[in-house]
Amino acid sequence: MDGFRHFFEFVGRSQFRFYQERDLGLDLYHNGILGVALFVLGVASAVVFLLAIFHVITEKRHVWRLLLGLGIIALLVGAGTSYAHFVQLPQIERQLIRDTAGPRPANDEQKAAIVALPLVLGAATLAGNTLGCLYMAAFWGSKLLARKKSHAGS
């Protein structure tokens, strides 16, 4: 438990404005296959939401399960990746933090921002998916969808 406390203290001191100076796509790529998987989960979430908006996925419960499932998986993968990199930071710092993505971190707070990138992306994916579920709950309960279905059957 002490390791988790140190991890959250380390991430809590992150200077997230350092992301402005870095290429986040390359930083995510340098996180390895799990970083790429996080990107794919984010894209899959956006596709599911768009398919739901255009009523390709017509069952509300399927949309909710897909969006929340993808969001939770993204958060777990992001948190696990960030924690694993935090634990191994002295050994993997050269391959995780490369000059090709932007300037090198000048202090530990900027390093923490790079280590926390998968966690931030996973949390953002879950937050976006939760908002998508709330959107679906608000607008799929309206009479507009029922009217569209009745006109389509005519």
72, HSE (Cβ side, Cα atoms, 13 Å): 6
pLDDT band at 83 (very low <50, low <70, confident <90, very high): very high
Map out the domains of the chain as residue ranges.
Answer: 2-152
Determine if the pTM surpasses 0.75.
Answer: yes
Calpha distance 141→135 (Å, rounded): 10
Residues 6+ apart with CB under 8 A from 121: 28, 38, 39, 42, 74, 78
pLDDT tens for 87-130 read: 999 998 888 888 888 899 999 999 999 999 999 999 999 999 99
pLDDT tens for 27-41 read: 999 999 999 999 999
21, HSE (Cβ side, Cα atoms, 13 Å): 15
Q: Read off the DSSP letter of residue 22.
A: S
Name which of 97, 118, 150 is nearest 42 in CA terms: 118
Helices (H) and strands (E) in the chain, counts: 8, 0
Task: Specify the length of the chain in residues.
Answer: 154
* Residue pair 116/11 in contact by the 8 Å Cβ criterion: yes
